[in-house]
Structure formats: structure tokens, C-alpha cells
Amino acid sequence: MDTVEKHSVKRKILKTVFAIVLLVGIFFVFLVGNVGCSNKETLKIGYTLYQPMNYIDENGKLTGYDTEFAEKVCDELGYEPEFVRIEWKNKVIDLESGRIDLIWNGMTINDELKAVMLISDPYMENRQVIVAKKEILSEYTVQTDLINAESIVYEKESAAQTVLENIEGLDFARLKGASSQKDAVVEVFSGASEIAVVDETMAFSMTAEGSDFGNTLGYKDIGFEPEKYGIGMRLGEEELLGKINALIAKYKEDGTLDALYEKYIGKTLVETPGFWAVTLSLLIGFGTTCLIFIVTLGLALPLGLLISFGTMSRIKWLSGLLKTIIWIIRGTPLMLLVIIIYYVPGFITGSVILPLAAVFVAFVINYACYFSEIFRGGIQSINKGQYEAGQVLGMTKPQIFFRIVLVQIIKRIIPPMSNEIITLVKDTALARVILVEEIIMHAEDFVISGIIWPLFYSAVFYLVFVGILTLLFRFAEKKLSYFKV
């Protein structure tokens, strides 16, 4: 074999690999930079979906008591509000890292929180209640009755945890922390736990008539201390605190807060979202799912091909390095990679990248590694005689690759590739660990409105999508069935 030719091909491959790595890097830095330079005029308001404080209405718009309240305050102070979805248990980190400027989401004021942030004057009162199957609610009338409960579920780091910890004689082994209030209610609905302790406002809307939970679940006030909601901000932001407190006082005075209470909380009828509202919301989520799928496929396929060339390279350090990377990527969960790529740049540069960008990068790296192994298998399965036949007929290396072996490789790799691509469709659901709102996350958000069927409905979207892909792969296989390799 002519080694000159081989060397130049290798060099070209190497150059391309470097170019791709560089491009991905630039893409990354660009996104970091983009998010990093925030506009002075915006206030980033951290929220979780929590009816009736912050939730999505039937038109897909974020609304609620706190949403409207925050909009009003920002408007008056001359800021542009930007609502940033957070995980409740991460609220302090998000605030300190600058991902958000305010926590405005029915946050119960307590001493622990006061130690790590500034908190406004109280603007609303709330209390914790218990949610249980209607037939057993009568067994509980005072707090100490909970000692007899089989199991109690609450949202971690929420006000419910505080009130439960204050009940003397309660067996902590029977307590179970959930990642959100809605999950706590679903636990009770499914029978996994007996009692959930949640905010009254939440309990009210989730067990409203017409919701999936309304028939079986009810809620009850068993005398927990009333608590007060406040707005959280970074330590040292005294000036902002003063302005906000002044406005709270003004809104209490002029009845603005009472009007908000009437509009969102005092109403006796909760509207559960209908079929079309759900479909619309799921379609939006499905759009994100498809975007992750397309971007991943579009970038991971060429990158995977380059990596497979790299692993077959005669340059020892390159193939060794790539094989190690593949081993690491294939040996660890994709979810971990998503989390690392999302958080690590933040630790280093101090500014966070867009969650969607982190998902793209993690998915592309992960799938490029899987694809590269499939490509390598396909390339190595081609008989050496095919290359030699091309060579003795005076063909160039690219001609041999593109005119002779490529189709044979494609034919060989369609079955493993189709498996991997179908797995990709479903792996997109992992994006929600960093709050990218793909379809499952949209479906889950309806649980706070008391309906659970959108979760099952979301499966239909996946089934249709995978069905279409399956047909496409079958078509491709049929197209290439006229020859044997």
C-alpha cells in the first residue's frame, strides 16, 4: 500500500477533527458569553410551576398571583422581568450564582433563609394543610394525629418540612421527601403514601372538582401555624429591598394585593385545562424534543464518523485518546454528562450556559461516541478485496470510499443505527433534569392543575415519531435489499 497517500488522508482527517472540536468550542463559548452579558434593565425572577402563584394558563402563557405581582413591581421600578424556571431545592445556589436575581414563588419566610438572603416584608399569608384520601381525612384533626399516620410525604426544603419537624413524637422514618409539592400529592393519589403536607393554595387547586384527583382526594387544615410569604434577593441588595418593601406597603394600602388574591386564590372554581390546551402545550414540548433530536443527529453523525476514523488511525496517541473517551462516555449515564456540562462551565467562568445548549453538547458528544463504534464496525466489516479491486482499477481513495464501500457500510449499519436513533428519541426526555422543557416536562406540569392523563397522552407523540422512523428505516433497508454484502 502506498503510505504517502495514507498519510495525507490521515492528516486531513486529523485536521477535520480539530476543526470540529474548535467549532464546538466556539459554539460553547458563544453561548456562555451570550448568557453571561445580561442586560442591566432585566430582573431575573426565579419561579417553579406552582398553581396559583406561577402557572401556565390555557393559552400557554405564564400567569398567577406572583407572576402578575412581579410584573407590576418590575414595571413600576423600571425593570424588564425575565422569568427563569428553577428547582426549588436549588434556589439559594441559583440566587448566589446570579442565575436569578429574585426568588418570587410563594416562599415562606423563616430564619434559615434569612441567614442566606435578604427577604422582603410579608405580602401574603398561607398555611400548610394535609392532603389524603377523602374517606380517611376525618381521622386527622390536630397535628399530633399525624403520629399515627403510616407515611407522610412533603416537598424537600419547603415550609412543610419545617412544620413537620416541629411536631414532637413524630417518627422521622415515616417521612418521605418528594422533589415537588405536586409529586407529594401524586404519591398520595397513587397510594404510595398516606398523607401529603402541602400549601393550602396548592391543595385547593389540585383537588378541585373536575381534576383527576378531586374525586378521591381532599384537604384539611389541622392547625399548622400560619406562615408568611416573602420575596428573596441576594445579601447586600438593600437598595432593591427597600424599593420592593415600599411597593408592598403601597399595594397593601391601595388594595392591589387584595385584588390579586381575589383573582387567583379566592375564586371558588378552578378550571382544569382541556384537551386542546394540553395538546397545544405538548406540541410545544414536542417541538423541543424534535429540536434536540435533529440537532443531535445532524452533528453526531459526522462527528461520529470522524471519531471512528480516529480510532482506526495508526497514530497511537490519537486512537488511544479517542478509545478512552468512548469508554468514559459509554460507561457513564448520559444524565450525568448533561448535568456536568451544564454546571461545570458555571463553576469555572461564573456564568451559566443555556440549558438547551448544554443538552445539545452533551447529547452530541454521547451519541457521536455510540455512532462512532457502529461506523467502525461497519467499516471494518468490509472485505479488503473491495478496496483492492478498486485500487487495481485505478480508482482514488475517495472514489473507492464513496463509490464502492460507503453504500455497503450503510447497508451493514442500518439495523444497529436504527436502534440507536430510536433510543435517542426517548433519551431526549433526560433534558428535563436541567429544566429544558421537552414534552414529558410539559406533560408533568399539568399535574399541578390536577390532571394526570397528559402524561399518558405524551406517549402517543413518541409512538407516532418512532413509528415514522421505523417506517423510514424499513424503507431504507428495502431500498438497499437489491444487493448482498
Partner 1 sequence: MAFLSVENYKKSFGNTQVLKGISFSLEKGQILAVIGSSGGGKTTLLRCLNFLETPDEGKLYLNGELLFDADREKANKNSDKEIREKRLHFGLVFQQFNLFPQYSVLGNVTLARKLLAKEQYRYRRNELNKQLAALRGTDKKAFKAQMRAELKAFADSLEKEINEQALALIDRVGLTEKIKSYPCELSGGQCQRVAIARALALSPDVLCFDEPTSALDPELTGEVLKVIKGLKSGDRTMIIVTHEMEFARKVADKVIFISDGVIEEKGSPEEIFGNPKSEKTKAFLARSRENRELD
Q: How far is the CB of 480 from partner 1 (least distance, A)?
A: 8
97, 256, 351, 391: which one binds partner 1 (CB under 8 A)? 391
Using CA atoms, how far apart are residues 323 and 311, in angstroms rounded to an integer?
Answer: 6
Residue 482 contacts partner 1 per CB under 8 A: yes
Angle between the N-to-C axes of helices 275-311 and 316-331, in degrees from 0 to 180, rounded to the nearest 10? 150
Window 354-383: contact mask with partner 1 (x via CB under 8 A): -----------------------------x
Q: What is the per-residue DSSP string for 181-198? A: HHHHHHHHHHTS-SEEEE
> Does the protein bind partner 1 through residue 80 (CB under 8 A)?
no
DSSP result, 198-237? EEHHHHHHHTSTTSTTTTTEEEE---PPPEEEEEEE-TT-
Q: How far is CA 436 from CA 204, 288, 338, 440, in A?
A: 28, 8, 11, 10
- Cβ-based nearer residue to partner 1, 351 or 386: 386
Q: Which is nearer to partner 1, 245 or 391 (CB)?
A: 391
Q: Which of 92, 116, 284, 404 binds partner 1 (CB under 8 A)?
A: 404
- The residue from 59, 385, 456, 478 that contacts partner 1 (CB under 8 A) is 385
Residue written as grid cell 436549588? 90
Residue 133 to residue 139: CA distance in whole angstroms? 11
What DSSP character marks residue 401? I
Any contact of residue 330 with partner 1 (CB under 8 A)?
A: no
- Are 412 and 375 a contacting pair, CB within 8 Å? no
Q: Give the Cβ contact number of residue 331 at 10 Å.
A: 7
One character per residue 7-46, x = contact with partner 1 (rule: CB under 8 A) = -x--------------------------------------
Sole window of 220-228, 313-321, 393-401, 426-434 interacting with partner 1 (rule: CB under 8 A) = 393-401
User: Per CB under 8 A, which region of 2-10, 15-23, 167-175, 177-185 contacts partner 1?
Assistant: 2-10
- Distance from CA of residue 155 to its chain's centroid? 18
Smallest separation (angstroms) from partner 1 to the CB of 296? 29
CB of 1 to partner 1, least distance (A): 7
Nearer Cβ to partner 1, position 310 or 390? 390
**Strand, coil or helix: what is 142?**
coil
Kindly list the residues in this chain that would bind partner 1 in the complex (CB under 8 A). 1-5, 8, 383, 385-386, 388-397, 399, 403-404, 407-408, 480, 482-485
